[in-house]
Structure 1
Amino acid sequence: MDPIKSCCAASREQAAQGEISKKEQAAISVKAAGSQVRDALVRIEGGVFRMGTNDPEGFPSDGEGPIREVRLDSFRISPYAVTNAEFRTFVDDTGYVTEAERFGWSYVFHLLASEETRERVKDVPQQVPWWLVVEGAYWAKPEGPDSTIEGRLDHPVVHISWNDAEAYCVWSGTRLPTEAEWEYAARGGLSGKTYPWGDLLKPDGKHRCNIWQGKFPVKNNASDGYVGTAPVDAYEPNGYGLYNVSGNVWEWCADWFSPGYHRQTRSENPRFTEETERRSMRGGSYLCHRSYCNRYRVAARSGNTPDSSTGNCGFRVAADIANM
């Protein structure tokens, strides 16, 4: 597959509008409410696995390979992406204001915005014109001021920057998973498979994830059941009990993003710590499609600036065993 520079997410650096100066994050202490988040994490026993891929279906320019053996300590990870309900609890408890709210806008996919919202849009990034710069879009108003999360409280929270995810982790006494932990957990005990369930995208003709169905980016026939996000427990879990690690929303990881990740990090508990201006994301989203961005494979990876937020980016949390 020919390399593609942009994935199905957009970055704040692509917007024509000027950025506001970054505000210092308010101090957030670990709250008792966060114990519910930690209690829900599943234990993943450490071990050695083959990480990455050499598959030509992938994107070598993303640094998906070469395949190598990686050893990880045991850790815990959430079976689900953080939901709207969970993030609302965090905001209610702390008064936290997300970066999308501070900037005053976030990216909304064009087919999800109302006609009224589309008419008010003044900026569209040239590289990814299906993303609209929507003023007033943020986690509680995911398609703009005339939208709501009511009826979607069990869906993954979106319009979350890496910095927002980190703030949630501080509050809940958790952390973001490393890329290696994410991939190890997403594989669910299988070795060398394309997806968390095997090599076939739709085994026995059954949808196993929420990705684009149709002609991207103009027609989504939603044969998998969803045009936008799906509930965090939609579809069957993988062998470790994790849901929606393929598709639905991109998930932030702890690492800085580097195309040389597999050649630059060690083989034991790897983590890329050198600042590159972009943080790693895993899993793909409801906008991924084989014709453009088949990054819903377990070895696929991408990155974005830590202040970027879109309507298809969320996160799940992890923790060290010693901290539980």
Structure 2
Amino acid sequence: MMSVTLRAGGAALLALLAVLTSQPDRTQAPPIGIIDFYGLRTVSPQPLRQALRIREGDVVPDSLDETRARLEALPGVNQARLTAVCCETGKTIVYVGIKENSASFIPFRPAPQGAVRLPDEVMKLEDSFSDALWKAVQRGDAGEDDSRGHSLSHDPEARALQERFIEYAGRNLDLPRAVLHDSSSAVHRAVAAQIIGYAPNKRDVVNDLADAMRDPDAGVRNNAMRALALIARFAQSHAGLDADFPSQVFVDLLSSIEWTDRNKSAMALIGLTEKRDPELFLRLRRSSIPSLAEMARWRNPGHAYAPFLIMARVAGLSEEDIQTAWNASPHELAVGRLLAKLESQPVAGQLRVDAKGIEQVWIPAGSFSMGTDPATLARLKATNPPAFVQREFALEEPLHEVRITRGYWIDKYEVTQKAFQAFVESGGYHDRAYWSEAGWEWLRRQSVGRLPRLCGMNGSDKPAVCVTWFEAEAYARWRGARLPTEAEWEYAARGPKSLLYPWGNDFDAGLCNVVGSSGLAPVGSYPAGASWVGANDMAGNAMEWVQDWLDQYGAEPVVDPRGPLTGKVKVEKGGWWGAPALTARSAYRHFEDPPEYGDHHIGFRVVSSPITP
């Protein structure tokens, strides 16, 4: 049966659920009542259900390792997690978490290697507590008192054992801290996190627990989150505790592949969002709305309510309106309305998932300086760059002001080979509706069965390269989108501060796939090099087609420039793998290639807001 180590989950049982364990003295779990998925963006649930080979009504198998292996063998799936949760409705719920190939990794700390351990009597105390708590849950007595910033069970036997945790934490925190940070044993680290949560001075242990939420072991994170969430709730009514509370780690773990990470983070954020802090809401908008939406659609109301509540608060609903929305509509409709409201009033960097399952970020209207000034160009020329770069410098001048009057959604990542293949498999190369007149004429001259050309750089999560401008345009139309104008692309990369690179004004080879690279990297491999709105790989990896024909800039300010109506070559932006650092500048313009050209260094991304004619 799917298990979470009991020592890592004792306190978690107080949250009115029990994660099933494989211990022989525990009652056989009831049959499966619900199977729900999360983490899906481009992967369809249908092949996942087929690979599961378990259905509602079945009994949870003794081992889910083979099931996980089948899921991870599916195209587009990098990792899979299965969690069986029992038993609010008399049925087991199986949650299937998927990390797609193109999804970003949460940066957990390396596993510690130290030999330090907790005493045997402490580990036996935790075993006794877990047993007592399990019995209480079976009797329907899982209530707790958290008014002191830690859990105290309503069950007398379990509570008496917790009082011993409090006594131990009050006289000796040094050893649990050392175990939490340095022990190679995840079981001991998990128990240490639980004990530290009982410390008399909560402020002193906040950073310890926040650090433990980056532990590579899910059980350790579970206990640390549980303890920190209780402290967060306690902090709401105790001055001085919430001033620097580390809420970001809860925001990050909303996108974890582990169900316990997501569930505990959502529960903690109920309290953390109660005061409706604008900065916290901004961070949630920029990274967590798709995750919250899929969690709010879970069919178990007890698990769906916390993410729904957080979403609704971020969307600006009053507490009364939130309850009305929750009670008045099926969850799917209510979540859809919240998403529509959030997308109708987006903020810079807000994340969404479009109709094809592709993540996009919001670029608000604004102004920036486009191109390069003479002093910067003189400094760059003094570095003796390659001849083709020197030739292209001329069309980066003059520096001029550009105003973008309408916001737009732009792909967070370059279009991947997997995403482009979906266009191919949908018949995109045979549907005239997606092609411009010139593109269709080009296509008629090709051997369609040999398209697209992949240039030998296969990898479903790598950029789709070797596609021509015509193919990129057709894909964009299939997405209900278009290629960005050069001004839109450059604004998304450098922002209102008109930075030289997406991350700042100084080149850093560790933030992009440019200098010294031998090939494409999976999209999102350099998250620290993202632009001001969170768009990844706008410097390096693949250079990107934009909508514009090449022209010479003028010196006067312009509004929503679109380039000339005709031309011979299309502009490409962003530099590419193995190219000189100078090409990674956001102002760089590559202009050698006509729209029928494709090569191993050219990819693209799309925007979803149409240009007003």
TM-score, length of structure 1 as denominator length: 0.65
**Aligned match of 2:501:** 195
Matched residue count: 233
Q: In 1, are the aligned partners of 2:454 and 2:465 still within 8 Å (CA)?
A: no
State the Cα deviation string for residues 53-93 of structure 1 (Å, max 9, x = none). 12222646541121111100211111111000000010000
Amino acid in structure 1 at the alignment position of 2:397: G
**Aligned match of 1:249:** 542
Amino acid in structure 2 at the alignment position of 1:300: Y
Aligned positions of 1:113-262 closer than 5 A: 139=452, 141-143=454-456, 149=458, 152-189=459-496, 191-202=497-508, 207-213=510-516, 222=517, 227-236=518-527, 237-258=530-551, 260=552, 262=553
Distance in 2, Cα, partners of 1:74 & 1:241: 15
Amino acid in structure 2 at the alignment position of 1:299: A
Distance in 1, Cα, partners of 2:418 & 2:477: 18
Distance in 2, Cα, partners of 1:101 & 1:313: 22
Q: Helix, strand or coil for the counterpart of 2:558?
A: coil
State the Cα deviation string for residues 154-209 of structure 1 (Å, max 9, x = none). 100011100000110111100000000000000145x242211112212xxx6000
**Aligned match of 2:360:** 41
Distance in 2, Cα, partners of 1:100 & 1:212: 35
CA drift at 1:234: 1.1
Does residue 1:313 correspond to 2:602, yes or no?
yes
Amino acid in structure 1 at the alignment position of 2:608: A
Q: In 2, are the aligned partners of 1:34 and 1:171 still within 8 Å (CA)?
A: no
Q: Helix, strand or coil for the counterpart of 2:584?
A: coil
Amino acid in structure 2 at the alignment position of 1:242: A
Q: In 1, are the aligned partners of 2:368 and 2:495 still within 8 Å (CA)?
A: no
CA drift at 1:239: 1.8
Structure 1: 5+ residue runs without aligned partners? Answer: 1-32, 105-135, 214-221
Which region of structure 1 is more displaced relative to structure 2, 312-321 or 80-89? 312-321
Q: Helix, strand or coil for the counterpart of 2:524?
A: coil
Identify if the C-alpha distance between structure 1 residues 46 and 229 changes in structure 2 by more than 3 Å, giving closer, same or farther. Answer: same
Q: In 2, are the aligned partners of 1:53 and 1:67 still within 8 Å (CA)?
A: yes
Identify if the C-alpha distance between structure 1 residues 76 and 93 changes in structure 2 by more than 3 Å, giving closer, same or farther. Answer: same
Identify if the C-alpha distance between structure 1 residues 166 and 63 changes in structure 2 by more than 3 Å, giving closer, same or farther. Answer: same
Identify if the C-alpha distance between structure 1 residues 43 and 244 changes in structure 2 by more than 3 Å, giving closer, same or farther. Answer: same
Distance in 1, Cα, partners of 2:398 & 2:611: 32
Q: CA RMSD in A?
A: 3.0
Identify if the C-alpha distance between structure 1 residues 100 and 283 changes in structure 2 by more than 3 Å, giving closer, same or farther. Answer: farther
% identity of equivalent residues: 33
Distance in 2, Cα, partners of 1:199 & 1:161: 31
Distance in 2, Cα, partners of 1:235 & 1:188: 18
CA drift at 1:266: 6.3
Q: In 2, are the aligned partners of 1:100 and 1:138 still within 8 Å (CA)?
A: no
Does residue 1:88 correspond to 2:421, yes or no?
yes
**Aligned match of 1:74:** 407
Distance in 1, Cα, partners of 2:444 & 2:599: 12
Structure 2: 5+ residue runs without aligned partners? Answer: 1-352, 382-389, 431-438
Q: In 2, are the aligned partners of 1:71 and 1:269 still within 8 Å (CA)?
A: yes
Identify if the C-alpha distance between structure 1 residues 212 and 139 changes in structure 2 by more than 3 Å, giving closer, same or farther. Answer: farther
State the Cα deviation string for residues 126-145 of structure 1 (Å, max 9, x = none). xxxxxxxxxx99656422xx
Amino acid in structure 2 at the alignment position of 1:282: K
Q: Helix, strand or coil for the counterpart of 1:184?
A: helix
TM-score, length of structure 2 as denominator length: 0.35
Distance in 2, Cα, partners of 1:101 & 1:62: 37
CA drift at 1:320: 1.4
CA drift at 1:302: 1.5
Amino acid in structure 2 at the alignment position of 1:66: P
Distance in 2, Cα, partners of 1:265 & 1:153: 43
Distance in 1, Cα, partners of 2:578 & 2:395: 21
Q: Helix, strand or coil for the counterpart of 1:200?
A: coil
Q: Helix, strand or coil for the counterpart of 1:76?
A: strand
For the pair shown, the structure with the greater C-alpha radius of gyration is 2
Identify if the C-alpha distance between structure 1 residues 93 and 288 changes in structure 2 by more than 3 Å, giving closer, same or farther. Answer: same
Where relative contact order (Cα < 8 A, 6+ residues apart) is larger, the structure is 1
Distance in 1, Cα, partners of 2:556 & 2:416: 31
Q: Helix, strand or coil for the counterpart of 2:403?
A: strand
Q: Helix, strand or coil for the counterpart of 1:85?
A: helix
CA drift at 1:287: 3.0
CA drift at 1:103: 5.3
Amino acid in structure 1 at the alignment position of 2:554: R
Identify if the C-alpha distance between structure 1 residues 230 and 138 changes in structure 2 by more than 3 Å, giving closer, same or farther. Answer: farther
Distance in 1, Cα, partners of 2:478 & 2:484: 16
